[in-house]
Structure 1
Amino acid sequence: MTEFRSPDQELQGFRVRVVVSLLFILACFAVLAGRFYHLQVVRHEYFHTRAEDNRIALLPVVPNRGTIADRNGAVLARNYAAYTLEINPSQVRRLDETIDALAEIIDILPRDRARFRKILEESRNFESVPIRTRLTDEEVARFVAQRYRFPGVEVQARLFRDYPLGPVASHLIGYIGRMNERDQQRVEERGEAANYRGTDHIGKAGLELSYEADLHGTTGFEQVEVNAGGRAVRLLASQTALPGNDLELTLDVELQQVAEHAFGNRRGALVAIDPATGGVLALVSMPTFDPNLFVDGISTKDWQALNESEDLPLLNRAIYSAYPPGSTFKPFMALAGLTTGKRTLEQRVPDPGYFIYGGHRFMDHKARGSVNLHESIVVSSNTYYYSLANDLGIDNIAGFMSQFGFGARTGIDVPGEAEGVLPSPEWKRNRFRKPEQQRWYGGETISVGIGQGYNAYTPLQLANAVATMVNGGRLFRPHLVSHVVYAGSGVRRAVEPRPVRQIELDPRHVEAVRRAMVEVNKTGTGARAFAGAPYAAGGKTGTAQVYSLRGQRYEEGKVAERLRDHSLFIAFAPAEAPTIALAVLVENGGFGSQSAAPIARQVIDYHLLGRKPEQPASEDAEGADVQ
């Protein structure tokens, strides 16, 4: 029998359900209202900022990098604008397919793909990575016509660094390259991360590295309104980027070119300095390289060719490689003898062609009976300096030579300088571990006296020492930059000559050594190279042994080329008031008069006479003296 509920009960149940539903609806609206209040009132500022960030983009404006020019205004590093095809990897789903499709309308070579991958893997996270640089107008037009097919790919106008003289002076100018994680870390450590927003390149070597703070400039910005697709709609505000400062150098690039040409295919280094200021007139390291290869990221093939070459073209021999000075050390030894009173100008020293110490015979290449200080330099007597070294002692030698900067960094304004080795008992104790190796032996002092033994100095140190001697004892910090020119104002800040010290020298002693060095180029070991010169120049040849012959006679033609002696020459000119002091080293070039002296002659000829040689300096050894 069916039980029927009363109408009053049905109505009561309906009313309960209605009330519950209303309460539920009201609760939902209350939650929505609370959420609305939270979003619109409590977190209003936060979401307003987020919305503005989505609507407004702050885009960095990369500054124009400063230029580098020589003392006469010849531009060595500059900028130019060109179009680049760039891919934003985060916006491209199928990267390889996209590159293949792009290659159908624009030439993309295997090296472009390899460089793209290298930058993508090794560099910091860029907004976009170039797949092709320096597009032609025709290539830009072809891409723009089909741009709709390539989301995440853009053509950008970029500034590129250019080294118009290519390999000339590349070791001192250096180069820029794409920033990597290590570069970014260094920038952040210096607190300059904001100023490098949007910057893809940074100085990697040479002046480009050491003067990065001046050359880079100040990054600007553009505040633009963007649409939902991320494209700029209108410019809201901007701050102009400030270009980097320009550098004016002490370098004479034409003198640099003459010096590099003089080396021909030989390896070596040359440094020429103005004795009055310490300004570097030429700084050569041969062979050289083209810095333009590094700007966009060097290819694997080019890198291997440079890095694996036995000639080491990336090595800056002028400031990093240290060599025994050989007989070019003798003028400084002579000055030490006069200064300490161990020798006088007229004192004659027996020269039988050898010097005996501790039962060992130190040989000379010729017996002369006896020589005084002037003759010892002119004819390059080893015996005279064996005797002098013994009389001075190693402590006096090291103490005197340290004043000229031997065995210490000069402080030149390019990175990578080596200290060299000024031998002393203290140096030997620090250098070796075993007690028997730490002991200093008297026979080692004898070898030091003729620029052999542990002696090892950079061509820069040797040139700076010559400049210091001929200017009367003022030791300068060599420098390549003469002025920093501020962008916009054009104000030129001079890099003032900075004397490190004044060495107390008797002018009569200095003049005596200078006269002997002038005679070297008239009747001595440098006479052949300077025959017919319409000016007087001082010089000293030197030969540095590469490896020991163990008592056998040295015959150049029977020795492997890379085991032959190094050829050295130091010089200054004109003799009466020197405006240039230089040091030349030719690796495995043989006697100093054979290879190094002719190079010095060509460089001085140009400096004083403006004469440019047609051929590299002669390698002819006929008639050359052994020192």
Structure 2
Amino acid sequence: MSPFERLKDYSQESITFTNRAVVALVIVILMMGILVARVYFLQVVEHDRYAAISENNRVQLQPVAPRRGLIYDRNGILLADNRPNFSLTLLKEEVSDLDATIARIGEIVELDEAEVERFKRRLNQRRRPFTSVPLKFGLTEQEIARISVDYHELPGVQVEADLVRYYPFGGSLVHALGYVGRINERELARLDPENYAATHYIGKLGVENYYEPILHGRVGFQKVETNARGRVLRVLESQDPVPGVDIQLSLDLRLQQFAEELIAGERASVVAIEPKTGEILALVSTPGYDPNLFVTGISSKDYAELRESPDLPLYNRAIRGRYPPGSTLKPFTALSAIDSGSVPLTHRVWDPGFYQLSKGGRRYRDWKRGGHGWVDLNHALAESCDVWFYDAGYRTGIDNMSDYLGRFGFGQVTSLDLPEADDALLPSRDWKRGRYNQAWYPGDSLNLSIGQGYMLATPLQLATATAVLANRGQWVRPRMIQGVVGDGEAPNLTDLEPPEPLPADVTLNNPAHWEPVIQGMVNVMHSNYGTARRSAKGAQYTMAGKTGTAQVVGIAQDAEYDSEALAERHRDHALFVAFAPVEDPQIAVAVVVENGEGGSSTAAPVAREVLDAWLVGDYENGLKEKP
């Protein structure tokens, strides 16, 4: 027996073990008691609270995007459609090697660096678990087929479909309709977060922008059951979204495309309005661009080409182009002169080819170098005699002219649903003082009388003023919408107020003054001395029109305009306004051709073609036959 065995105290060891066992048992019992108490607390005392939390984790309410309302022309032709768009998306939680997966996808479909960079930015943004992130939009059928073949090798990769805007007529209507695009952060901050919870697109320009509240519709919801990771297991119940209202515009697609054909290759615009209703029949600005490029996001390369083009295809000339109206303003300045009593209706002037405010002073030239001789109101309008208007403008003064021009909508935005329309510039005595800190000089009035100087107008304003003149002063607001398609509820436009109130009807001091001014415009077209008589040849109706030529660069006082010596973009603009038939006006037209030089030779023939198309159904382009 070893000495160590003799030193062991078995009795003491037994007591120690027993004590330790008791302590351990007490600890276990206490812990079990705490655990039972906690379970009791959670399952009995806090049952209702945690049951609600569990239910919220298990059942989620997901928004469902509404179908965007369709847009039709006045004849029921679909102008803006919704069509499925197939996108390639990745579910991060199911992708083991993201870079390798993207590289493999790049072998199947074409991916550019910009798409990959945008995908990674979206991936790093805050999102819910098991939410797919788009990598490539607008997959073709061939790309979808190739991806489907390799699905088994691409866990987490899927093709998803949603409805996106599609414009079947591309650039023909972009400046009239506008377009939709993906919602940006600035727009997201001002939108209703509930109604746009599942919407990725919003109207950016034009009609799409103005009627966004009714085109968008109301969001729907579906209650879904999910697992702990957020994956949807089943749909428990749903509330269908309310689709957007389908609207019908006053645009006539055939007339729109015909007008576009007439000015193809030019930097130009055509606006046609129905005078009795204010309905816009055509609104064309060339060159245009394909709005479908912007719907899911235009590439940097394509956008740079549009932005850097010297022809400015992104610029809506019809509603934002600011042009000196030239002689197209003369019917309105003539009306201001005779109706204000500044000159009598029988006022005549001698035109030697120039006008002087004082003997030996500056000569304000007439377009006809040798002058027109004795000229009255009728010949002044028909032959576009500048000297008669210089004299009448000097006698009328800026206050009267600015007042009368304002009554016809110049210097204002009077349209209902063209939110980007420009108010251009109607000068006045106060405006010049505020802008240049200068007085208004008599020479300024002379320039204004022939539509030059500070005065600027848009093609839409010229067409609108011509429509009011055709109505003998009765105002109707120019608008694009004609009504609602089907049995849908009428659009609620109470929150979509126009930027400015509609001017009051133009009431003349002597209503008889309408007719001599309109007759002068008739003689522009139908007399043997009218400046646009060639454009009215063979017409089956009576039209009233006015040609205009607006200087782009100044010409020295004694110099003669030389087209060949000027760069193409420094040549005069060509303008023309008209309405017909004179007895019962059904259409008013304004045409502006940048650097087209002659209103009678360039713009008037375009307007005649538009009038023939609308009034007699002649859609044969007669301009093609001319050399």
Deviation at 1:50, TM superposition (A): 4.1
CA contact (8 A) 1:262 1:615 kept: no
The question of 1:282 aligning with 2:285 is answered: no
Contact persistence 1:541–1:593 (CA under 8 A): yes
Distance between the aligned counterparts of 2:332 and 2:90, measured in 1?
A: 61
Deviation of 1:322 after TM superposition, in Å, equals 0.8
Q: Give the alignment partner of residue 90 of structure 2, picking from 83, 87, 107.
A: 87
Further displaced range: 118-127 or 130-139: 118-127
Mapped contact 2:414–2:502 kept (Cα < 8 A): no
Q: Is the 8 A contact 2:407 2:503 kept in 1?
A: no
- 1:407 equivalenced with 2:411 (yes/no): yes
**TM-fit CA distance, 1:492:** 5.0
Structure 1 counterpart SS, 2:467: helix
What residue in structure 2 maps to residue 147 of structure 1? 151
Question: In the superposition, relative to structure 1, how do residues 404 and 617 fare at CA in structure 2: closer, same or farther (>3 Å)?
Answer: farther
Structure 1: distance between partners of 2:618 and 2:476: 29
The equivalent of 2:578 in structure 1 is: 571
The whole-number CA distance in structure 2 between the counterparts of 1:491 and 1:221 is 22
Equivalent positions of 1:297-312 (< 5 A) are: 297-312=297-312
Any idea what SS the aligned residue of 2:536 has? Answer: coil
Deviation at 1:235, TM superposition (A): 2.2
The equivalent residue for 1:374 is 378
Alpha carbons of 1:549 and 1:343: their partners in 2 closer, same or farther (altered >3 Å)? same
Q: What amino acid is aligned across from residue 259 of structure 1 in structure 2?
A: A
Aligned to 1:75: 78
Q: For residue 21 of structure 1, what is the aligned residue in structure 2? A: 24
Alignment-derived partner of residue 512 in structure 2: 508
CA contact (8 A) 2:525 2:545 kept: yes
Corresponding residue of 2:398: 394
The equivalent of 1:295 in structure 2 is: 295
Q: Residues 374 and 41 from structure 1, CA distance in 2 versus in 1: closer, same or farther, beyond 3 angstroms?
A: farther
CA contact (8 A) 2:61 2:223 kept: yes
Counterparts of residues 402-481 of structure 1 (less than 5 Å): 402-432=406-436, 435=437, 438-481=438-481
**Alpha-carbon distance in 2 for matches of 1:515, 1:495:** 40
SS of the residue corresponding to residue 282 of structure 2 reads strand
The verdict on how the C-alpha distance between 1:37 and 1:427 changes in structure 2, with shifts beyond 3 A counting, is farther
Q: Could you tell me whether the CA contact under 8 Å between 2:207 and 2:418 is conserved in 1? A: yes
Alpha-carbon distance in structure 1 between the residues aligned to 2:277 and 2:103:
58
Helix, strand or coil at the partner of 2:344: coil
What does residue 593 of structure 1 align with?
Answer: 600
Name the counterpart of 1:131.
Answer: 135
Please give the per-residue CA displacement for 1:131-164, whole angstroms capped at 9, x wherever unaligned. Answer: 3445455654553454343333222122132111
- Specify the SS of the correspondent of 1:318: helix
* Structure-1 separation of matches of 2:151 and 2:45: 45
Looking at structure 2, the residues matched to 448 and 561 of structure 1 have their Cα atoms a distance apart, in angstroms, of: 25
| Residue of structure 2 equivalent to 1:556 | 563
* Alpha carbons of structure 1 residues 74 and 120: separation in structure 2 relative to 1, 3 Å: farther
Cα distance in structure 2, aligned partners of 1:484 and 1:300: 37
Q: Is the 8 A contact 1:483 1:495 kept in 2?
A: no
Q: What is the aligned partner in structure 2 of residue 342 from structure 1?
A: 342
1:180 equivalent in alignment to 2:184: yes
Deviations 1:596-619 (Å, cap 9, x if unpaired)? 111101100101111113465688
Report the Cα distance in structure 2 between the residues aligned to 1:554 and 1:198, rounded to whole angstroms.
60
SS of 2:504's equivalent in the other structure is strand
Q: SS of the counterpart of 1:549?
A: coil
Which of 154, 161, 164 matches 1:157? 161
Q: Work out the CA distance in 2 between the residues paired with 1:216 and 1:116.
A: 30
Matched-pair contact (CA < 8 Å) for 2:115–2:136: no
Distance of 1:294 and 1:99 partners within structure 2: 25
Aligned equivalents of 2:609, 2:493: Cα separation in 1 = 29
SS of 1:323 mapped into structure 2: coil
Contact 2:337 2:401 in 1 (8 A): no
How many equivalent residue pairs? 607
Tell which deviates more after alignment, 175-184 or 35-44: 35-44
Structure-1 separation of matches of 2:423 and 2:196 = 33
Partners of 1:263 and 1:616 within 8 A in 2: no
2:34 counterpart residue number = 31
Q: 1:18 to 1:122 in 2, by over 3 A?
A: closer
Gaps of 5+ in 1: 621-627
1:51 counterpart residue number: 54
Q: For each residue in 1:557-592, what CA deviation from the matched residue of structure 2 results, as whole angstroms up to 9, or x when unmatched?
A: 221000001100000011111111111100011011
CA deviation digits over 1:400-424, x for unaligned, max 9? 2111111111233022111111111
Asked if structure 2 preserves the Cα contact closer than 8 Å seen for 1:267 and 1:586, the reply is yes
- SS of the residue aligned with 1:393? helix
2:145 & 2:367 partners in 1: Cα distance? 74
Q: How does 1:161-240 map to 2 (within 5 A)?
A: 161-187=165-191, 192-227=192-227, 230-240=230-240
Deviation at 1:546, TM superposition (A): 0.5
The separation in 1 between residues aligned to 2:259 and 2:184, in whole angstroms, is 35
Counterparts of 1:125 and 1:412, CA distance in 2: 40
State whether residues 526 and 536 of structure 2, in contact with CA within 8 Å, keep that contact through their aligned partners in structure 1. yes
Could you say which residue in structure 1 is the equivalent of 2:105? Answer: 102
CA contact (8 A) 2:342 2:396 kept: yes
Separation in structure 1 between the aligned mates of residue 475 and residue 246 of structure 2, nearest angstrom? 28
> Does the 8 Å CA contact 1:261/1:616 hold for their aligned counterparts?
no
Q: Residues 95 and 605 from structure 1, CA distance in 2 versus in 1: closer, same or farther, beyond 3 angstroms?
A: farther
Question: Which of 422-431 and 602-611 deviates more?
Answer: 422-431
Equivalence for 2:537 = 531
Render the CA deviation track for 1:193-245: whole Å, top value 9, x for unaligned.
11112222221111111111111111212222234565443321011111111
**Alpha carbons 2:122, 2:133 under 8 Å: kept:** no
Contact 1:119 1:297 (C-alpha < 8 Å) held by counterparts = no
Kindly provide the amino acid, as one letter, of the partner of residue 534 in structure 2. R
Q: Distance in 2 between matches of 1:302 and 1:418?
A: 27
Match of 1:623 in 2: none
By how many angstroms is 1:301 displaced?
Answer: 2.2
The percentage of counterpart residues that share the same residue type is 44
Task: Kindly indicate whether the alpha-carbon contact (under 8 Å) linking 1:115 and 1:298 is maintained by their aligned counterparts in 2.
Answer: no
**2:488 aligned residue (479, 487, 490):** 490
Q: 1:360 aligns with which of 342, 362, 379?
A: 362
SS of structure 2 residue aligned to 1:476:
coil
Contact (CA 8 Å) 1:87, 1:131: kept in 2 or not? yes
**Equivalent residue, structure 2, for 1:624:** none
After TM superposition, the score normalised by the length of structure 1 is: 0.90
Partners in 1 of 2:21 and 2:218 — Cα distance?
A: 70
Pick closer, same or farther for the CA change 1:122–1:398 going to 2, 3 Å. Answer: farther
Asked whether the equivalents of residues 482 and 495 of structure 1 are also in contact (C-alpha less than 8 Å), the reply is no
What pairs with 1:312-323 in structure 2 (closer than 5 Å)?
312-323=312-323
**Cα shift at 1:48:** 3.0
Cα distance in 2, alignment partners of residues 426 and 393 from structure 1: 13
Indicate conservation of the 8 Å contact 2:609/2:622, yes or no. no
Q: 1:302, 1:572 → 2: CA distance?
A: 40
Cα distance in 1 for partners of 2:423, 2:120 equals 38
The Cα of 1:480 is off from its aligned counterpart by 0.1
How far apart in 2 are the matches of 1:543 and 1:619? 21
Q: Which residue of the partner structure matches residue 258 of structure 1?
A: 258
What is the CA–CA distance in structure 1 between the aligned matches of 2:86 and 2:286, rounded to whole Å? 35
Q: SS of the counterpart of 2:188?
A: helix
| Structure 2: distance between partners of 1:530 and 1:197 | 57
- Distance, in Å, in 2 between the alignment partners of 1:382 and 1:518 is 18
Query: What is the root-mean-square deviation in Å for CA atoms of aligned residues?
Result: 2.8
